[in-house]
Structure 1
């Protein structure tokens, strides 16, 4: 999602895209699936309208709740919010584009409207080699809950609903034959040097080879600031019902959110910064099993060296306690203490995972147009858990979904400190 400052620019681009589609409405419009995107003169137009309503139960524990206890209303906590999205897809003359316009309504009457481009790229090529340039969605790796080798898209997994990702600017070359493929990409060209791996300029490569029931992958990345990174992955189909997979990545450097020790307990500005740390390892192993009556099971375990460590979370808890004690002992320091407690919540968004060790399990059952699913994410280091359940119905054009997620665990578990401990949602999508 783009910021409000950038929304006007993206809205202008999207309006030009919509104008192009309307000007071409007297021509031949066909379904996107029937179009050869590499050079057709026809226009493929499709899209979807999605509504999403969410209800959150605000947690009485954690830094957000503690901040509002010190200064009531300092951090806005919305209980209900509603979203409506219109997403348009167009393909013509070798150009593919996806644009989104979104309206969002919060509690207390707050609203905003934003727009962005998910994709806008052109592709060409003949035979085994294909080329593309522009803003493009490219997701890699083999696991479900965590993908360490997703070196371009770097998608955060386990979202409430499936939505179209926002691509990255790139120039890409791909080679395909019957058993192998190779992809070479220059990502975020021209971007200023920074330590954010999602926006830094980088060269990225992926090699793939199919050998019987085994799929093998190799990955490489060289970032302008983060340096080199190498990864590998494998997926092995043991039978018609069972598959196992594994993935590993070593990174020379990664930017990890870290607490900068202030001269005193109270800092004047946020004490959190993101220096580059060396020698980061990430790994995941898992399996899938599907029965004849369409029940599916996924079990995965992973280690994320980019997540905050045990010692970081211990330091974080100690600082929470010290700030609360200071605010109670010296009432005149309540306001600066509240600012510092609020900054403690920054660590919740430090990485894709809150803890380094994770265990994930999911069960789902497909029956005709209906699917139900239950999953849990467990963090053995502090016994935290995130439990989810959902039900979906898929029609010809309509997709309906409802579900809930519960966060919990012992009082010192990170999941038990999040701003919300229960979230309910419903979603309806109409495709056209």
Structure 2
């Protein structure tokens, strides 16, 4: 990702336009060129209300984001270039130009060959996807998110009802993947049979060693669907807090440690009716997240440090690093509802933490006022019970309006 601090967004947008014109000019040299392109504009503006968490020095703030995405395609070559601008109150603006995807697909010896940088999405779930093992993406964000691809080389063989694939990936090409970089090779098998589909993956990389995963989806009648997804990883890394009220100043407050045998598993179901209602219920477990006892230790020492002299603030804020995991809690329940009503798209999510009563609730409403153009609103609440871990997050409420259009 190119960090272009201090450069006006207009220059970035001009640059992406120039790139598109140059690309189109080169392609036009071929008399038989098949050239397609699409643009997508996203704008949002909102307000984040800070929580009373002792772990983060957060403040109420306004924010705004803008993203212009360009999707060029020439024969078997496809790409995605994103100009992203992010502005937060009392912070420097950040402007990025991101090559999110650029890949080439062709046929080799009756097999499909793919080379380049592509977003790989093998998960079948809604709230959490264990099979996002190459570069995990934040699920259901309220603000604009750029989902960058990873370097990939794959060879696939299709049968009547299935697929076999041999692949190599390199997430070091994803410039926004700091702390998640790995490279490795693996095999994937996919099979479709009647109303069910299965897939299994075996992947070995230079950071986590062996990764094994699989998924299953099956439909029952016209209204019901059941899905399951799981993954095992031989090694994983996690930030660990060492502070207690009795060892302050004697130990390092936090460190990254390696653990063995990471397990993530999810089970869910979907129900739909002819009126357009869709309901999803999911439960998942992730043993890489901190246990309830470990979270209680973080909360206790953070509240204790907050009551001491202000010189300990740096030590207190160091505890925020333990929130960087893919899942905060080990046990999670997700309830999701949305309805398709022609131009209107209402939706509502509730994520529950059964261990301590934590709640993250998100309401969404989108309205397509012109074909291809949507006006939307988002409202998210983070909290729950008084002692819930979600109460320690830096924000308690987030609201925004957004505009999105394709042309």
- Quick check: 2:58–2:395 contact (8 Å CA) kept in 1? no
Larger fraction in strand: 2
Q: Are residue 423 (structure 1) and residue 401 (structure 2) matched?
A: no
When residues 173 and 89 of structure 1 are mapped into structure 2, their CA distance, relative to the original with a 3 A threshold, is: same
- 1:51 is aligned to 2:43: yes
Q: Is the 8 A contact 2:282 2:333 kept in 1?
A: yes
How many angstroms apart in 2 are the aligned matches of 1:122 and 1:26?
A: 19
Helix, strand or coil at the partner of 1:406:
strand
**1:94 corresponds to 2:93:** no
Counterpart of 1:62 in structure 2 is: 54
More divergent stretch after superposition (89-98 vs 246-255): 89-98
Q: Which residue of 2 aligns with 1:36?
A: none
Contact 2:104 2:114 in 1 (8 A): yes
Aligned pair in 2 of structure 1 residues 109, 137: CA closer, same or farther (>3 Å)?
closer
- After superposition, residues 6-21 of structure 1 pair within 5 angstroms as 18-21=17-20
Shift of the 286–76 alpha-carbon distance from structure 1 to 2, 3 Å rule, reads: closer
Confirm or deny that 1:4 pairs with 2:3. yes
Query: What CA distance in whole angstroms lies between the structure 2 residues aligned with 1:362 and 1:124?
Result: 38
Q: Output the CA distance in 2 between the equivalents of 1:250 and 1:23.
A: 45
The 8 Å contact of residues 12 and 97 in structure 2, kept in 1 or not, is answered as no
Q: For 2:365, what is the secondary structure of its paired residue? A: strand
Partner residue of 2:107? 125
Note if contact 2:5-2:93 (Cα within 8 Å) is conserved in structure 1.
no
Task: Give the 3 Å change call, closer, same or farther, for CA 426–76 of structure 1 in structure 2.
Answer: same
Distance in 1 (alpha carbons) for counterparts of 2:170 and 2:5: 18
1:17-416 matches, within 5 Å, as: 18-23=17-22, 25=24, 41-64=33-56, 75=57, 77-108=59-90, 110-125=92-107, 128-160=110-142, 163-188=145-170, 198-260=180-242, 264-266=247-249, 271-325=253-307, 327=308, 331=309, 334-335=310-311, 337-349=312-324, 351-394=325-368, 395-416=370-391
Q: 1:355 to 1:124 in 2, by over 3 A?
A: same
Encode CA deviations 1:82-133: one digit per residue, 9 max, x unaligned: 1111111111253211111122222247422211111012221157511111
Query: RMSD in angstroms over aligned alpha carbons?
Result: 2.9
Output the CA distance in 2 between the equivalents of 1:162 and 1:196.
19
CA pair 174-380 structure 1, distance change in 2 beyond 3 A: same
Q: How far 1:21 moved relative to its partner? A: 2.6
Is the 1:151–1:204 Cα contact (8 Å) retained in structure 2?
A: no
Relative to the length of structure 2, the TM-score reads: 0.89
* Residues 398 and 198 of structure 1, relative CA distance in 2, 3 Å threshold: same
Q: 1:175 deviation in Å?
A: 2.0
- Structure-2 change in CA distance of 1:186 and 1:196 (3 Å): farther
Separation of aligned partners in 1, 2:26 and 2:168:
36
SS of match in other structure, 1:173: strand
Alignment correspondent of 1:34: none
SS at 1:323's partner residue? helix
The number of residues matched between the two structures is: 397
Q: CA deviation at 1:418?
A: 1.1
The answer for unaligned runs of 5 or more in structure 1 is 30-39, 65-74
**Contact 1:62–1:416 under 8 Å retained in 2:** no
| Contact 1:78-1:106 within 8 A present in 2 as well | no
Output the TM-score relative to the length of structure 1.
Answer: 0.84
2:184 touches 2:206 (CA, 8 Å); kept in 1? yes
Q: 1:101/1:107 Cα in 2 relative to 1: closer, same or farther (>3 Å)?
A: same
How far the C-alpha of 1:62 sits from its partner, in A, is 3.4
CA deviation after TM superposition for structure 1 residue 268, in Å:
8.8
Secondary structure of residue in 2 paired with 1:274: strand
Q: 1:291 to 1:161 in 2, by over 3 A?
A: farther
Q: 1:168 to 1:429 in 2, by over 3 A?
A: same
CA gap of 1:268–1:258, structure 2 versus 1, over 3 A, is closer
CA distance in 2, matches of 1:198, 1:273: 16
